[in-house]
Every structure is written in C-alpha cells, then in structure tokens.
Structure 1
Amino acid sequence: MFTKILIANRGEIACRVMRTAKKMGIRTVAVYSDADRDSLHVAMADEAVHIGAAPSRESYLCGDKILAAAKQTGAQAIHPGYGFLSENAGFARACDEAGIVFIGPPIGAIEAMGSKSAAKTIMEKAGVPLVPGYHGDDQSPAIIKQHADAMGYPVLLKAAAGGGGKGMRQVWSEKEFSAALDAAKREAMNAFGDDTMLVEKYLTQPRHVEIQVFCDNHERGVYLFERDCSVQRRHQKVVEEAPAPGMDPALRAAMGEAALKAAQAINYAGAGTVEFLLDIDGSFYFMEMNTRLQVEHPVTEMITHQDLVEWQLRVAANEPLPLTQEQLQIDGHSFEARIYAEDPDNDFLPVTGTLSYLDAPDEGDYVRVETGVRQGDEVSVYYDPMIAKLVVWGRDRDSALRRLQKALSEYRIGGMTTNLGFLYNLVSTEPFRAAELDTGFIEKHQSLIFQNSGDHLERFIPLAALYLALKQAQDAQALAPATDQHSPWNVADHWRTDGSRKHRFAINVHGEAHALLVEQTGSGAATRYKVTHAGKTTTLQGSLCGNQMVADMDGHRQKLQVNEDNNHISLYCFNHVLDFSRTLPDTGEADDQSLAGGLTAPMNGTLVAQLVSEGTEVEAGTPLLVMEAMKMEHTIKAPAKGTVKQFYFADGELVDGGALLVDFEVARAN
C-alpha cells in the first residue's frame, strides 16, 4: 500500500479522499491555486504545493505542475478526484512514464470512453443497448442536422468529449437546430478543447439510472447496484438516491450485468460508472461511462457500507477487490442533495461571495456533509459553485426522505443566495415523495416547487420587520450612556410624548421593494409590535439575543436564527430562509447617470461571444452575447425590441457582476 499520495483536485472531493487516506495511515499532499491558498483541503493535507494562478487552466489542469509537485514531495500515487484531469488519458500516461501510479483506470480504458462517439461504437459491438443516434466522424453541421431531421425532434446534442451537462443542448424543432449546435460546440470547445458532437434521439420521459462498477487487475469485477440521478437542471444532477425506486431484482441484475459487460469490453480496472437512460417501458440504453469516481458516490457507500475511495486505493495498489458480487447487499436507502451558491429564482444563475455564516446539520451514522468550505471562505467565479453535498440514510425511502427534509431545514448559509429553499421544496412535493421521477422532473413540477414563495413572504416579512425593530432597539441601548441605568436617556423603546411609537422600514427581497410600518405598544416583556405590510396587519412579540430571535406571531411562538453581513440579512425558520436587505435612505449621493437601456452582467464571468453586431436592430428575446461562469454558459437576450448601440467588453474579457455589458436602445412604440 502507498505511504503518500497527492490529490490533484480541490474542494470537497479533495477533502473526501484525504479522510479515507488518513484513516488508512496514508499521508496526503494537496495542490492549490492562488484562489485556494487558505482553503480547507490545503489545511487538511499533510503537505501542500502551490501550482499556479486561480484559473484552472493555469493550475489544476496543468499536469506538468502536478507531476512536479508529486516528485517534489515523494508521492507514490496521484488521485485525480473528479473533473479536471480525472479522465485525461494524456495525464494518466504522463504519470505512468514518471513512475507514479494514477489512481484510476488503465490508459486504454480512459481513451476508449473519452469520446462519447467511440464509446458508443465499442458498446454497440459489445452488445450493450444504445439510444438511436449519430456519432460519426463527419462533423459537418449539414450531416449532423440531416441525422437529427431523420430521427425526428426532439433530439439531444452532446459533446463527444464532454460531461457534467457542458456542450449539451435539447433541440425541440428544426428551426432551433443551427443555433443550438453553435452554442453546444462553443461550450464544448471552451470546456474540453474539443467541439466534436453527437446527436441522439431525445427520450421525453426517461429516468437517469447509473450503475457503480468496480474491477481489479485480477480479472474480477462487481457492480455495487444503482443510483437514480433523474432530478436534474441544465443536465446537471441536483438530487440523487440509491437504490433506484421501483427497481425489481430482474431489472437490477440486467442493468448490472450490462454495465459489467461494458467495463469488460475495455479491460477496465478501478471505479467506474455506467450511465443508462431507463425508459417508462423498462427498456434501458447506454448513455456513457465515466472512468472515475462520481460526485454522487456517497449514496452507494451508504447503502453498501463500503468506502469506495478505499477500494480505489487498494485496486491501484494491485490488491484484489474486497468483496465478491454475492457478498454485496443493499441496506436501506440514501439521498444526496447538492447545495449550490446559485439563485433558483433567477434561472439558477451561479452566485459568488463570502460564506459569512455556515451552520451545517450534525453529522453521524445517518447524516454526512461532504464539503470543502468553511465559514468565511469565498465562493469564486473560477470553480464550480457547489458548497456541499448533504447525504442521508434511512431504513427505507420514506424514512430517508424525512431525514433529508429535516437536515435541509437545519442547514444555514449566510452571505449569499443558495438553493437550500429550492431543494427543500423539491423533495417535499408529492410527486417526489411518490418517486414519480424522470429527467424533466423540475420543469414538469415547477409550479409545485415554487408555489409557496408568496406564502413564505406573507409569513416571513412581518418577522423581518420584528427583527429590524428589535435590532434597532438593541443598537440604541448599546449606544446609551452607562452611568445611570435608570436615566430616561437609556430607554430605547422609542417612547414619544404623543404616545405613538411607529417605525418605518423599507426592505428589498429578491429585487422587490417592501414598505413596512411597525407600531410599538407596551414596554418591557409586554412590548408588542403591530406590523403592517401590503394592507395586512400582524401582531408580534419577541426578543433578540445574538443571532437567536424568539418570535410570537399571532400566538404562534417560534425560534429563528438570523445572520447579518454588510446589510445582507438572512432569516432562518425551519424549512425556509428569507434573504433581504434594508433599503437605506437616499442621501443624494447616488450617481445621476441612469443605466436605463443598458444590460448588465448577472454574475462575474467571462465574455465568450458577441452574437450580433453593433448597430443591429433586434426583436425581444434575441440572443445578444454569451457569458461563461463557473463552467456554464449564460445567454444575455434583448429585453425588448430595440437597437444594440455598443458592446463594452470584447470576447475573452473578464466581467464583474453588475458591470454594464451593452448599450441597448429600446425602440419607441408607434
């Protein structure tokens, strides 16, 4: 067994690998970029080596720098995690030539599965069922479109070298095809340096079910059952579970054996995942094979009670698989929810910023929190916006789901918008509880997932008003003279001679302004606050101690947590968080230059492409430019009919969130 390994990755997967390595008595070496100098994975490692600037192409994608770090520290093996160089055959070959073990499959297996087109050809020869499609060498747009037209729409465009939903587009009609192909090829080239595409028939109600396989170097292979990863947005998984609901033993065996057949066809060794589309009639089709550890591997670990990273290390050290197929059993049910810094109410755009407050659920035998960040860390534009993976286990699906809901309700993150509330709402819908899963789940049930937003505001805004009133009184008390506690100057209850004690607050919630009137009556423990908002009055009592607020609203007593950071306030209550800011008075110092007619960047990122020329007249909804942030493309569209007067950034330039991108003149109504 190795005595020292280097982890060629960052964030939660680097921390995950280190935990197993330490358990096995193996020393660990981290690598880090400028942006990650003070990160958790660097702190956890026994040693750490700086490898370059923040952009991954200058650090985590530089195989020569990573190999130099391994040689410098005497690491005997390199674990690539997932993403970055994990499926890079050239890097695996360089490790082999340097005499350093690559903790992954053989070079030939990576090459075979590195191209989705080549992989489908191999699987077809091996007798693994395939989705109808075109994955040929002729990449002319006309040929690709010809095959799409012949299959009939909808179709799915996919980057041959891709993964993680990048370079992938659904095309619903012939007229959308050319623009979708251009966008998919551009995103694929940006992400993988390869814009080779394939096109498949798009199944309208498929489930995404994948099989975890493991092979050693002694001609033994097993499958560790399946995971259902159907709940996705933008082709990226959001909630995964194991085992897949409704999977009968015969179908499980058929899919497991097909996955092993796929692995054996390329002489596989190590951890791999064979992904299938499972249709409503029980037929399944090979989609791709990932020659690495998957993000969602913890749910498999929870139901098999096996450490897959330990298996990886043992296989890489040429040991046989720890268990046979007959010895593997499914125990209970597990879910994983991916927690991202993103705004579900704004098309899931990624969010950057500082994690000013972070309070995760307690971990134990039933709850795992896989993360690579701590309170005070920054979520930057350079890497994936995942904050953590929340993993739970239960004796059956219902009990595991209840545990997931509870853990999500207890997760507190402040300083930025996250998808926590969205995740809670999603897993609480009746279709999810009933396991009515397919890859269009979120789009299909959007009204259910987002239906409570208005109800939440009606319930939470009075609580926000209570917090502001209590905080105002607390701040006033702190500034009062301490010489005489009985002095009237120390009274901070806003007493007035006319008996009316009213406060007016203005807050902003997701870009919407809300005016609040708070009338205070009584004093001391009997103080009451009547909050009027949008014509409705609510009576509250409460107290504030640190970040804990106790509120009694119309006889309903509850405990809430509050985090305030630079006027960004997060109010946590059970299964929801209200993020808001207090609108400060206008002092007349604001810039008088209106940006009306200008389109601003929704997040930090890079300008990828200008899609129209300056001076062009466009219709509402016309794509104007494309930005890339956190590995995903985002298209900025014309808000109305008008003229593009000027672009303020060139292709390839970095753009700050909120920066003016386009001078856009709205056409005058006739």
Structure 2
Amino acid sequence: MSSFFRLSAAIPARQALAGSVHSKSLIRFSSTTGYGKTFDKILIANRGEIACRVIRTAKKMGIKTVAIYSDADINSLHVRLADEAINVGPPATSKSYLNIPNIIGAIKQTGAQAVHPGYGFLSENSQFVHALDEIGAVFIGPNERAMAAMGDKIQSKIIAKEAKVTTIPGFNGVVENVDHAVKIANEIGYPVMIKASAGGGGKGMRIAWNDKEAREAFKISSSEALSSFGDSRLLVEKFIEDPRHIEIQLIGDQHGNTIYLPERECSIQRRNQKVIEEAPSVHIDIATRKAMGEQAVALAKNVGYYSAGTCEFLVDPKRNFYFLEMNTRLQVEHPITEYITGLDLVEQMIRVAAKQKLGILKFPFIMSHLCASSAHTAPLVKLARKEMQHALDTHPRFQSGKISTGFLAEEYPTGFKGHKLTPQSHRELLSVAGYIFARRDLRNRSWIDGGGSVSQGANKKSEWDLHISTGNGHYENVTVVKQGDTFVITAKGESVTVSANWALESPLINAKLVHDGADSSVVVQYLESLPLGFRLQHYGSKFDIQVRTKTQQDLSIHMKEREKLDLTRMILSPMPGSVVSISVKVDDVVSEGSELAVVEAMKMQNVIRAPRAGKIKKVNVQAGASVAGDEIMIEFYEDQVKK
C-alpha cells in the first residue's frame, strides 16, 4: 500500500560560510527557568512524527498524554508512546483527524485539559479553537481571533499594512473571475503571482508572465485551492524576481511579551515547497535581521498573537523584504530553530497556553525535507539525503551563497539526477575521468609488475590513448600524459592539468584543474566501478563513465548494441496520482507544448504537455482515474511524431 511521509533532518552547514555569522547578533535561550506546573493531561490532535514530538516534550514536563487514531493507525508509534489512546473514526481523515465532534468527545472522555494540534489537520482551524473554548479546554496555540485574521492572506495583508509591515505590491481584494485576474495582472505589470488566499504549503500558486499564463494560472490555482483548502478565492500580486524566502520564528505569551528568534532560510524549493532550510541565513545581515524581526513582532502584537508562529518574507537581492504570510502554528521545520537556540518550542507553547510568562546558537544547520511515495522506500531516505547534501555542497552557487527560490528549477530542472553538463562541467568531468583511469591503471600495473608493492613499477607507463563517454553514448578521444605528480588530459585540442591528492580507497576526489592558465577546483564523488568504467557524481548528478582503450574502441564496431525501447511516442505519468483532466482525444493533432493532461498528487496539480508535435494514437486513462508513476497515459502515432 502506498503512503507518503516526510523526513526532517539536520545536517551540518557549509563550513566556509559559518564564519560569516555574527554570534553577537544571536541570543542564547534557556528552557529551564524554574517554571511551575502547567497541565496534568493533554491530548494531541494529530498523528505521526509531530504527535511523537509533542509526546516526548510532554513526558519531559511530567504531563500525561492522550493520542487519537483512526482505524488505520491503531498500531502507529504515537499510539504506543502515549499514556492513553482514543479511536476517533475510520481511515478517511475527514471522518477522523478532521472530525471535530469526535475529537471533542475524546477530550471529554479522557479529561484532557488542553489540546496540542501539531501541524496540518486542525492546527489552523479557528472553528476548532472555538469548539474547545466552549467546553473549557485550552488550545495550545494562538487565540481564535488572531488565527482567523492571519489565516486569510487577503485579510492578513490588510492587517500587515496597518502595522506598517512591508507588503508585496498587489491587489488587496478577492479576484472575482479569470478576466478580473488578467485585468489586475495588467494593472500591476507582469510577472505576477496568482495564489490561493487560504492555506499554504505551496499549493494554489502559479507565476504568470503574460495574459495566457495568467488565465491558465487562475484555472489551476483556483482548482488546487478548492481541493486543498475548500476555498477557491485567489489574490494577485507582483512577482518578486530572484527572491530569497526567509521566515522569522516568533514566540509570544499572554502577558504582552513577544520575541523573534534567528531566521530560517528556505530559498531552496521545488514547486514552491521547501526542500532545504538553513539557519541562520548567510544572506541576512544584522540590520536586515533586526528590521524583519521587529516587523514580525509588530504584526503579532497588532492582532494580539501569542504562542509560536512564523512570519514569512521574500527578500530581493538588495535585501529589500516583503511580508508574505503568517503561519499560526508550529511548522514542520521548527527543529532547526531549536538546534540553533537550544529552545524547546513545544515546551514554550505549552507554558504559554498555561498563561506562564516567557523565560528566556552557535553553529548554522541545514534541514532537509525528503519525500517518498511508498513506505517500502524508507531505506532510500538516508541515501537521498546524502545525495542531496553532496549535490548542494559541491555546487558553486550554493557554496557562494548566490541562491534564490528559483535555484532548484534553474540548476536541476529535472531533479538532482538531471544536471545538464555545460562545456565547462563537461571538460571537468572528462578530465577527472581520465585522471581516475590513469591512477587506477598505474595501481593495477604496479601490483602486477611489483609483486604486490604499490610503489614498484608505478612510473613504467606515462601515456594513455583513451575513448571516454560521459554517459551520452558519444565517445571522445582523450589522451592522458603523466608529468611528475600531475596528469595532462587533452581532448579536442584543449588540455587540462589535473592534480589531486587522492587516496584510491577514498570516495571523494578533490582535484585542482588548470586550463588556459586559470586554476579551478572540483569535487567529484566516486560511487562504484562499472564494466569498462565507473559511476561518478558531479554537481549532484550521477554519470556512468565508459572508458575504452584504443584496442577496445577499434573492436567496438563489431559489437551490436541492445535495441532500446522507444519512449518518444509515449507520455508517462511523472508520479503516482489522480487524473484531473484529459485535454486530448484519439486522432487529435497537437503542437509542442500543448496541454495533454493534468495529474494531481498531494493536492498539487501538474500539467503534462506535449514534448513535440504529433498525432494522438491512444489515450489510456480518463479523468478521475488513479495512475502509477511511469504509467503510459497517452501514445502518439509513430509516423506522426516529429523528431
């Protein structure tokens, strides 16, 4: 059975940038300041990791816990960890974790004094807060008024302006229809962002650069918003180009005290959803941090906000910042703030809910959000995190800090597996491949000639005539010449001198390259050996390097390659999901870029377009159907496909 899970993990940040963080701008907090008793028993209205997270803190504080579960989650970890557990309904979340009457019944049955909502589900539902107030139970979070005011993006922008918070230029009202959206977009000036007024998580958001894209963005965003939040209202605002996404963590009590904590940077995103979080940001200086924090506090005080909350901002390359929205809950990425402050945010939320006063970082950390489509892929999560970390750590833009929310889309348009080699990165990869082959060949020869001693016979060969493919099936003639401790690699008349202190058993190759008198450094990871080659990771992408000697190349013309399956006439589903719509039928003629279908996964709609012009031969799915990843959805006539 398929499932979805998200893993949050902290990994050390790039050390080269750690020195740019000013320790005097960071405050150290303590969560042990002699507080008194809070609650005897709390109920956690959630499941999974966040429920376990709240239970751990509650146990530390001596508070008994109540878990809720659906029929499908009876054996879940959070159920086993809690002191009590109550069934609240069948597997469908609308009938269990979103069922307010059933949860209210569980509170009454167990005598829980307070409720922690976690994140998601009812965590930002003001009606749930109202229902708790009516039975005298405490909501561990903000009050109903503040939550309702900040939960609506249109209303929150109006309130932010009243609090003198800098907002993105745009239309402060509800967009009536698609024509109204286009009219507003023209008045603001393209590019614009069309996005849902309710909810968050990157759903119901699209960028439009012209009228055609604005109409499409309105259609998809309103559909996503209705599906995700039950509210199809949209707003239109100016799109900030090359922005960084920075969020300020707030914590306030019910005595008028509100503080801001060091920021989290979440600029590395995919489809407007955060992938990597770093704290504190290397881009934000002391003055900007102070200004953003003060505006966030001003907004919170303007609506009487208390408990944990997050103000999200966009920051342009000149450090001008603009308020996006306020999340009135604990966020998935809260652990990274806890890492750098030593503050337990869940504990502070509980104490604030009990009407106690706030009591009040040294190394940057990075937090990654990883997703898997099947519970059986859990062993791959650790590997995925390693690959992501290596991809970022070796990328020049990430190393220099020159990133924006468009980083992944620009550098990895098809994911971490799909880095497109530039002439420079191709030359680097080819040079390192030639170096690796020569070093390995010298080692092998020294063992044969020297009877096991690596040092004997190592200099008997100094030239290699090779043919190397970087994974595209095309072989280039490459010569490698050993000159002392360096190797000169020549291809297409260009020479690169490679030097590296590489131990052959080490997976990382730190190489210094000299080309046309200019020095550069690259880090390449040796993953594994292959028949006639090896697999390398360069710029976070894997490349199957094939190396042939001159003799092997001469013999290759007599070897037939296995015929490959032709997928050029097939449209595959990019992910497991459900088909929202099919825009074509059999015998339709489509042009390149035409919309073929829309597939929804995790309430995000993905438009599938024709990769080239052609005539439709077969449509294998229909609207409302479920599709698996890589399932063949649409087929073209072979003789009609223009290659």
Q: Contact conserved, 1:78 with 1:102, CA < 8 A, in 2?
A: yes
Q: Alpha-carbon deviation of 1:209?
A: 1.6
Match of 1:79 among 116, 123, 145: 116
Counterpart-to-counterpart distance in 1, 2:599 and 2:538: 36
The residue aligned with 2:512 is none
Which residue of 2 is the match for residue 334 of structure 1?
364
Q: Which among 284, 298, 303 is matched to residue 247 of structure 1?
A: 284
Letter of the 1:623 counterpart: E
Shift in alpha-carbon separation, 1:311–1:153, aligned structure 2, 3 A: same
Q: Residue type of the partner of 2:387?
A: G
Per the alignment, do residues 598 and 13 of structure 1 end up closer, same or farther by CA in structure 2, a change over 3 Å counting? same
Match of 1:430 among 375, 382, 396: 396
Q: Which amino acid aligns with 1:421?
A: E
2:579 aligns to what SS in structure 1? strand
How far is 1:655 from its partner?
3.0
Taking the TM superposition and a 5 Å limit, the aligned residue runs for 1:607-622 are 607-613=579-585, 616-622=588-594
Task: Write the distance in 2 (CA, Å) between the matches of 1:626 and 1:34.
Answer: 32
1:28 equivalenced with 2:58 (yes/no): no
Partner of 1:407: none
TM-superposed deviation, 1:123: 1.1
Whole-angstrom CA distance in 2 between matches of 1:216 and 1:106: 11
Q: CA deviation at 1:37?
A: 4.0
Structure 2 distance, partners of 1:574, 1:205, is: 25
C-alpha distance 141-29 of structure 1, shift in aligned 2 (>3 A):
same
Out of 365, 374, 378, the residue aligned to residue 352 of structure 1 is: 374
Aligned partner of residue 556 in structure 1, secondary structure: coil
Shift of 1:559: 8.6
Question: Among 104, 107, 112, which residue is 1:67 paired with?
Answer: 104
Contact 1:214 1:223 in 2 (8 A): yes
* Aligned equivalents of 2:320, 2:539: Cα separation in 1: 38
Q: CA deviation at 1:308?
A: 0.7
Number of the residue aligned with 1:657? 629
Aligned mate of 1:3, from 11, 23, 40:
40
Q: Is the 8 A contact 1:296 1:336 kept in 2?
A: no
Decide whether aligned partners of structure 1 residues 306 and 201 sit closer, same or farther in structure 2, where only a CA change above 3 A counts.
same
Q: C-alpha offsets along residues 405-457 of structure 1, whole Å, 9 cap, x if unaligned?
A: xxxxxxx34xxxx4641332113323222222322222344499736899999
For 1:142 and 1:174, how far apart are their aligned partners in 2? 10
1:178 CA displacement:
0.8
Partner Cα separation in structure 2 for residue 577 and residue 617 of structure 1:
36
d(CA) in 1 for partners of 2:91, 2:593: 34
1:490-518 deviations in Å (ceiling 9; x for gaps): xxxxxxxxxxxxxxxxxxxx9x99xxxxx
**Residues 16 and 427 of structure 1: is their aligned pair in 2 closer, same or farther, counting only changes over 3 Å?**
farther
Give the alignment of 1:271-670 within 5 angstroms: 271-323=308-360, 331-341=361-371, 351-355=373-377, 357=379, 412-413=382-383, 418=384, 420-446=386-412, 450=419, 556-557=504-505, 599-613=571-585, 616-644=588-616, 647-662=619-634, 664-665=636-637, 668=640
Q: TM-score, normalised by structure 2?
A: 0.69
Rounded Cα–Cα distance in structure 2 between residues aligned with 1:198 and 1:182: 13
User: 2:242 maps to what in 1?
Assistant: 205
Map 1:81-120 → 2, pairs under 5 A: 81-120=118-157
* Whole-angstrom distance in 1 between the partners of 2:134 and 2:341: 36
Flag the 1:129–1:642 CA change in 2: closer, same or farther, 3 A. same
Letter in 2 for 1:635: V
State the Cα deviation string for residues 191-230 of structure 1 (Å, max 9, x = none). 1111111111111122212211111111221112322222
Cα distance change of structure 1 residues 73 and 420 upon mapping to structure 2, 3 Å threshold: farther
Distance (whole Å) between structure 2 residues aligned to residue 6 and residue 579 of structure 1: 50
C-alpha change, 1:579 and 1:666, in structure 2 (3 Å) is: same
Provide the TM-score with structure 1 as the length reference.
Answer: 0.66
Contact 1:126 1:262 in 2 (8 A): yes
Which amino acid counterpart does residue 399 of structure 2 have in structure 1? R
1:59-208 alignment runs, 5 A limit: 59-208=96-245
* CA distance, structure 2, for counterparts of residue 67 and residue 109 of structure 1: 22
39 and 640 in structure 1: CA distance in 2 versus 1, 3 angstrom threshold: farther
CA distance in structure 2 between the partners assigned to 1:98 and 1:598 by the alignment: 58
Judged with a 3 Å threshold, the aligned counterparts in structure 2 of structure 1 residues 424 and 3 are, in CA distance, closer, same or farther, namely farther
CA drift of 1:611 comes to 3.2
Distance 2:297 2:395 in 1: 35
Distance 2:541 2:597 in 1: 33
Residue in structure 2 matching 1:216, options 232, 253, 267: 253
On the 8 A contact 1:158/1:199 being kept in 2, the answer is yes
**Using the alignment, how far apart are the partners of 2:404 and 2:576 within structure 1?**
32
Report if the CA contact (8 A) 1:640-1:666 is conserved: no
Shift of 1:115: 1.1
Corresponding letter in the other structure for 2:592:
A
CA contact 1:134–1:144 (8 Å) conserved in 2: no
8 Å contact from structure 1 (residues 89, 111) kept in 2: yes
Query: Partner letter of residue 365 of structure 2?
Result: F
| C-alpha contact (below 8 Å) 1:241/1:333 kept by paired residues | no
Q: Are the aligned partners of 2:242 and 2:316 in contact in 1 as well (CA < 8 Å)?
A: yes
* CA–CA separation in structure 2 for the residues paired with 1:647 and 1:668: 16
Q: What is the Cα deviation at residue 35 of structure 1? A: 4.7
1:182 alignment partner, SS class = helix
The 3-state SS of whatever aligns with 1:163 is: coil
Greater RCO (CA < 8 Å, at least 6 residues apart): 2
Q: Which amino acid aligns with 2:593?
A: G
Q: For the Cα contact (< 8 Å) 1:641–1:667, is it kept in 2?
A: no
Over 3 Å counting, the alpha-carbon distance change for 1:68 and 1:620 in structure 2 is: farther
Could you say what secondary structure the match of 1:607 adopts? strand
Equivalent residue letter for 1:306: L
What SS does the aligned partner of 2:155 have? Answer: helix
Shift of 1:660: 4.2
Rounded to whole Å, the distance in 1 between the matches of 2:505 and 2:621 is: 52
Note the C-alpha offset of 1:340: 1.7
Using the TM superposition, give the Cα deviation of residue 83 of structure 1 relative to its aligned residue in structure 2, in angstroms.
Answer: 1.8
Segments of 5+ residues of structure 2 without an aligned counterpart are: 1-37, 438-470, 474-501, 509-534, 545-564
String of CA shifts for 1:477-496, please: whole Å, max 9, x gaps. Answer: xxxxxxxxxxxxxxxxxxxx
More displaced stretch, 109-118 vs 145-154: 145-154
1:13 corresponds, among 28, 44, 50, to: 50
Contact 1:352 1:603 in 2 (8 A): no
CA distance 1:49–1:643, shift in 2 (3 Å)? farther
Alpha-carbon distance, 1:186 to partner: 1.0
Partner AA of 1:322 in structure 2? G
Please give the per-residue CA displacement for 1:319-368, whole angstroms capped at 9, x wherever unaligned. 11122xxxxxxx213323324235xxxxxxxx32404637xxxxxxxxxx
Taking a change above 3 Å as real, the CA distance of residues 281 and 456 of structure 1, as seen in their structure-2 partners, is closer
Where does residue 503 of structure 1 map in the other structure?
A: none
Q: Secondary structure at the match of 1:121?
A: helix
State whether residues 3 and 26 of structure 1, in contact with CA within 8 Å, keep that contact through their aligned partners in structure 2: yes
- Whether the 8 Å CA contact 1:341–1:419 is kept in 2: the answer is no
5+ residue gaps, structure 1: 324-330, 343-350, 359-386, 388-411, 464-509, 514-553, 561-570, 581-592
Question: Distance between the aligned counterparts of 1:164 and 1:204, measured in 2?
Answer: 20
Residues 239 and 335 in structure 1, CA contact (< 8 A), matched pair in contact too: no
Give the AA of the match of 1:436.
Answer: K
